[in-house]
Amino acid sequence: MAGHFIERMQTGLWRENPGLVQLLGLCPLLAVTSSFVNGLGLGIATLLVLTCSNVLVSATRRWILAEIRVPIYVLIIASLVTCTELIFKAWFPALDRSLGIFIPLIVTNCAIVARAELFASRNGIVASLFDGLGMGAGFALLLMVIGFFRELIGKGSVFAEFDKLVGGDPLAGMVLVDGGWLLAVLPPGAFFSLALAVALKNYLDGRRKPARQT
């Protein structure tokens, strides 16, 4: 089981990363990654929803006829997202304000319904749980990396506004430079950053392959 877990994690984090390889869920990915904390917040929320939906879809897969599977996925995912939104509003109000509409919009993240359809509806509960964790972590990690990068270039700070997550007094994070290259936090910066991340992944994969063959 441990080996299986490691394999699912590798698949989600790298080999079939929902953002980098499947290019799913780009709307939230591009929109909220203007800072590390936002990326982390939405990443955790997506991870939570994806894992729970995978488990529920897998657990109910015996009773679900093929014709009604999509409405059932929609029901399950929408309920989970509503619960997540309420939980965020109650315990992380600042983060909820900053992510705004993108928490309810997790419903439309195709990475989640794709995993329900492609994986959870065909595999056991434990495997689906691992798959949800792996894919969710892969997505969350990408959100964090891009958020970190854009915040660094665009605002010259690192880990700013962590109070949104932990509460309490405003935290400035580490300010390296005052101000930054504004473009990075504007929408084009999101596209550039994602393109760089995809390119970097392909470059690393390309380097590894020939090495294995020889």
Give the footprint of another protein on this chain (CB under 8 A).
60, 63-65, 67-68, 71-72, 75-76, 78-80, 82-83, 86-87, 89-91, 93, 97, 182, 185-186
- Integer CA distances (angstroms), 54 to 64, 70, 194, in order: 14, 14, 26
Distance CA 61, CA 202 (A): 35
Minimum separation from the CB atom of position 192 to another protein (A)? 16
Minimum separation from the CB atom of position 18 to another protein (A)? 24
Minimum separation from the CB atom of position 91 to another protein (A)? 7
Nearest CB to another protein, comparing residues 71 and 206: 71
Distance CA 51, CA 138 (A): 12
Minimum separation from the CB atom of position 60 to another protein (A)? 7
Smallest CA-to-CA distance from 197 within 120, 126, 144, 160 is with 144
Nearest CB to another protein, comparing residues 22 and 161: 161
Nearest CB to another protein, comparing residues 60 and 108: 60
Distance CA 168, CA 103 (A): 22
Residue showing tokens 């939405």: 42
